[in-house]
Amino acid sequence: MQVRYLGHSCFYIKSAKGTSLMFDPFSTYIPYNFPQLDTDIVLLSHEHRDHNAFYRLPGSPMVLKPAFQYPMENELNIPRTKERLTFYSVPTNHDNFNGRRRGPNTVWHFYWEGIHFVHLGDIGHILTDNQINQITKADVLFVPVGGLTTVGPAEAGLIINQLKPNIVFPMHYKTPQIAGLGLCENTLEDFTNRMGEVQDQASMSMDIDQATLPEDSTVMLLRYE
């Protein structure tokens, strides 16, 4: 299974059978390159333009939009590859004030090729016990680390301790391209300097499988275009 980083909070995953999935595609407001990738499924964490631009994708992917009030289950069948996937959403908030400042946020989790994936979207707080129980398990965790509008490096570290994933992909952090947009205040280095095991893949993508997941939580750094 291949995981590719497209920048900001957007990741592209492709299974061994060829099913493809994208998290949180960003609009032209985010000045990163956005490749035209054939995508079967798009998951959106919330309705902000740096996370919900599914219209930029070619074809007609199936789009799962945020479910903000209650946990939800969505089963999707991919005729092209004959894969069937079930996606679970956990309601959270975009801030630490019950959503009063920046609104709601959806955490998506699902099980695919023996791996539990969890994408935290723009979560703005550490997880409650109830939310941890709803997520159940995280082998691969996508976590924002940039602060200001999401959790920052310290809170991201606490969430990692809560979920104890094998692989951590940091996202939504301050870069020169988006420094003036008011989305983040912390850089990737602000986060990695706090973490123990960090591996720079020196690539936009990496292959993962259940058999070779690291035993301890390891931060994997991917480049973006």
**pLDDT tens track for 119-139:** 999 999 999 999 999 999 999
Helix (H, G, I), strand (E, B) or coil at 133: helix
Check whether 170 has a pLDDT greater than 80.
yes
Q: Is 50 helix (H, G, I), strand (E, B) or coil?
A: coil
Contact between 125 and 164 under an 8 Å Cβ cutoff? The reply is no
Residue 153 has pLDDT above 90, yes or no: yes
- What superfamily does domain 2-221 belong to in CATH? Ribonuclease Z/Hydroxyacylglutathione hydrolase-like (3.60.15.10)
Centroid of chain to Cα 181: 20
The pLDDT value given to residue 67: 78
Q: How confident is the model at residue 70 (pLDDT cuts 50, 70, 90)?
A: confident
For residue 43, is pLDDT > 90? yes
Would you put residue 59 in left (φ > 0), alpha (ψ -120 to 50) or beta? left
pTM over 0.85: yes
The per-residue DSSP string of 146-211 comes to --SSS--HHHHHHHHHHH--SEEEEES-B-TTTGGGTS-S-BHHHHHTT-S-EEE--SSEEE--GG
The average pLDDT across 27-46 equals 97
Residue 158 to residues 23, 79, 146, 165, 213, Cα–Cα distance (Å): 23, 40, 14, 12, 21
Domain coordinates of the chain in residue numbers?
A: 2-221
153 — phi, psi (to 5°)?
-55, -45
Nearest to 158 by CA among 185, 131, 125: 125
Tell me, what DSSP letter sits at residue 130? H
